[in-house]
Amino acid sequence: MGYYHTVALMLFLHFTTRRLVSQVYCGLKTASAKKQRTCYEMARPSSNMAEFREIFAKAKHITIITGAGVSAESGVPTFRGAGGYWRKWQAQDLATPGAFAKNPSRVWEFYHYRRELMMTKHPNPAHIAMAECEARLNRQGRSVVVITQNIDELHRKAGTKHLLEIHGSLFKTRCTSCGNVTANYKSPICPALAGKGAPDPDAEDTRIPVEDLPRCDDCNGLLRPHVVWFGETLDSDVFTEVEKELEICDLCLVVGTSSLVNPAAMFAPHVSARGVPVAEFNMQSTPATDKFRFHFQGPCGTTLPPALARHETELIS
């Protein structure tokens, strides 16, 4: 069983145990096709922005789930689909414990390239709209939380405070010996990686000696990126926070995500199944679109800012 299928199953069982997905269960358990259609069949989602804005104006606990599509509008490569390669490898070839054990030099070159690239990127209007909405609504006693699958920290750059990074961060390291997790914004992260990581498919695949790769300041152990790799589970503390936010939210936005990667792909359908309005902002429809109340198609940097702007009924701007 693959990593994401395993985590999805764990998530499903966890939610079921805590009675959080009584409605979702009727669509996931073994059942006739007719019963599944009855559970999930809904009208096509609305694109009525005025209707969404009325719901937004009354929401007290807003959860926003973001994916790679948000960062793509800032010029961040997704490493998915056609052309989604670094040199001759896709992310799933490199982002695994096995790949790191076999060739930590190659994996560190890949992540060093991504770190250096991200230092040149900036939040786009979608990131900024979320951060500004959070700050404004907080002054009104309302809450906004961003649950992101992205590891680029663009939400932080934009000013988002209540942020759950379920897949970790490019700018944190974890020691493979003592387990110490540290924020790390060095450029380059170590002298041996200076000038390394070119994505050119013809680039020479040389191995940096392991002793020259990033090392722990406390115990000199080998550092690794503090991100969730294929074959690894989500951080339990972060997962608990995600569960809490999904349980209390009264409006959910899904922004720039394909709704294909579990466990995050299960979050919004779970919320929708308990009757909470969900609005999807994406370049195209996804497998989950028909489960949501709203769908706004187009670049989220264009569609999201007017959706989250100050509503006329807000007393505090």
Known binding-site residue numbers for NAD(+):
67-86, 149-152, 256-258, 282-284, 300
Question: How far is the C-alpha of 173 from the C-alpha of 167, rounded, in Å?
Answer: 13
Q: Does residue 254 contact residue 62 with C-beta atoms inside 8 Å?
A: no
| Binding-site residue set for substrate | 111, 114
Whether 167 sits among the annotated catalytic residues: the reply is yes
Q: Which residue has tokens 């040149």?
A: 120
3-state secondary structure the chain: CCHHHHHHHHHHHHHHHCCCCHHHHHHHCCCCHHHHHHHHCCCCCECCHHHHHHHHHHCCEEEEEECHHHHHCCCCCCCCCCCCCECCECHHHHCCHHHHHHCHHHHHHHHHHHHHHHCCCCCCHHHHHHHHHHHHHHCCCCEEEEEECCCCCHHHHHCCCCEEECCEEEEEEEECCCCCEEECCCCCCCHHHCCCCCCCCCCCCCCCCHHHCCECCCCCCEEEEEECCCCCCCCHHHHHHHHHHHHHCCEEEEECCCCCCCCHHHHHHHHHHCCCCEEEEECCCCCCHHHCCEEEECCHHHHHHHHHCCCCCCCCC
| Binding-site residue set | 67-86, 111, 114, 149-152, 175, 178, 216, 219, 256-258, 282-284, 300
Q: Which of 167, 226, 270, 295 is catalytic?
A: 167
Question: How far is the C-alpha of 263 from the C-alpha of 71, rounded, in Å?
Answer: 19
Question: How far is the C-alpha of 272 from the C-alpha of 252, rounded, in Å?
Answer: 8
Q: Does residue 64 contact residue 147 with C-beta atoms inside 8 Å?
A: yes
| Binding-site residue set for Zn(2+) | 175, 178, 216, 219
Catalytic residues: 167
